[in-house]
């Protein structure tokens, strides 16, 4: 699914933010991205969601060398990736419903299917009564749930999330983590940047991708049953 070989990233003529990053993530795996502040987690996520190309090294995703893809090919590949940004990046002139439905409309799904899928997911994340509200009239936690729903509505092949539970209470945060876990069980590769050690311990069957001083190491965990419940097919 994802392969980095001696990948480096710098902004302008400054020092490298990422230095000789090497790792391979297999399809259908789940990883917590962790490390101290300033380690380069946001920069690594920007590479993974194809917001940037590496300064040097080999980066392959879905079997393709990212450095060899043109703008149109990158655009098509991004449609296979769901992203939950830390600053949400919602469209404030569009309702909560329309923000979540946007990826499906870009893909050309029929409006009846869109309504069924979006309404069901909004109910599940606790936003069923807020379909017609604009994002800037909602709380930070509610906006975060819209961002999560928008990222997962297409069942992406790769899901990236930057501190997705940071503005949420423990109950809602755990519910969303269970959603990510279920998507992973259905075949989605998941990478979540988080400082929440309690969350990592609760979902300890997943491995950690640890960044430190611009370099990465992958720590694989032994599978263990930590989930208290399985969620059925949400869509």
pLDDT in tens, 112-127: 999 999 999 999 888 9
> What's residue 157's pLDDT?
95
Tokens (6 digits) for 105: 């409309």
Are 148 and 198 within 8 A, CB to CB? no
Q: 68-81: buried (b, 16+ CB within 10 Å) or exposed (e) per residue?
A: ebeeeeeeebeeeb
pLDDT band at residue 222 using 50, 70 and 90 as cut-offs:
low
> What does the alpha-carbon distance between residue 188 and residue 98 come to, in Å, rounded to a whole number?
24
Helix H or strand E segment including 209: strand 207-212
Residues 137 and 113: beta-carbon distance below 8 Å? no
pLDDT at residue number 165: 82
Residue-wise pLDDT for 42-75, tens only, equals 999 999 999 999 999 999 999 999 999 999 999 9
Q: Which of the four pLDDT bands, split at 50, 70 and 90, describes residue 221? A: low
pLDDT at 215 over 90: no
- What pLDDT does residue 231 have? 38
**Contacts within 8 Å (CB) and 24+ apart, 51-57:** 52/9, 54/7, 54/8, 54/9, 54/18, 55/8, 55/9, 55/10, 55/16, 56/6, 56/7, 56/8, 57/4, 57/5, 57/6, 57/7, 57/8, 57/20, 57/21
Cβ pair 82, 152 in contact under 8 A: yes
CA–CA gap between residue 207 and residue 39 (Å, rounded): 18
Q: Is the pLDDT of residue 174 over 80?
A: yes
Instruction: State the average pLDDT over residues 161-175.
Output: 83
Q: Name the percent of the chain lying above pLDDT 70.
A: 94
Mean pLDDT of 154-170: 88
pLDDT at 18 over 80: yes
Residue 106 has pLDDT above 80, yes or no: yes
**pLDDT score, position 184:** 92
Any idea which of 23-37, 65-79, 203-217 has the lowest mean pLDDT? Answer: 203-217
Q: What's residue 93's pLDDT?
A: 96
What average pLDDT does this structure show over 140-158? 93
Q: Does the pLDDT value for residue 152 go beyond 90?
A: yes
Dist. CA 214–CA 212, nearest whole Å: 5
Three-state SS at 3: strand
């Amino acid at each position: 699914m994802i392969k980095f070989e001696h990948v480096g990233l710098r902004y302008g003529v400054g020092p490298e933010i990422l230095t000789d990053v090497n790792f391979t993530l297999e399809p259908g795996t789940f990883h917590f991205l962790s490390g101290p502040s300033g380690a380069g987690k946001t920069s690594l996520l920007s590479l993974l969601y194809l917001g940037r190309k590496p300064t040097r090294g080999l980066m392959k995703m879905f079997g393709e060398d990212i450095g060899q893809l043109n703008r149109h090919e990158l655009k098509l590949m991004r449609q296979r990736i769901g992203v939950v940004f830390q600053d949400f990046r919602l469209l404030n002139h569009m309702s909560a419903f329309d923000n979540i439905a946007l990826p499906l409309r870009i893909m050309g799904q029929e409006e009846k299917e869109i309504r069924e899928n979006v309404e069901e997911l909004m109910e599940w994340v606790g936003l069923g009564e807020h379909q017609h509200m604009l994002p800037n009239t909602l709380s930070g936690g509610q906006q975060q749930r819209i961002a999560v729903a928008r990222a997962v509505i297409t069942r992406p092949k790769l899901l990236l999330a930057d501190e997705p539970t940071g503005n949420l209470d423990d109950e809602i945060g755990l519910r969303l983590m269970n959603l990510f876990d279920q998507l992973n069980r259905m075949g989605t590769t998941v990478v979540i940047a988080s400082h929440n050690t309690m969350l990592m311990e609760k979902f300890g069957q997943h491995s950690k991708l640890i960044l430190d001083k611009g370099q990465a190491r992958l720590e694989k965990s032994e599978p263990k049953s930590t989930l208290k419940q399985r969620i059925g097919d949400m869509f």
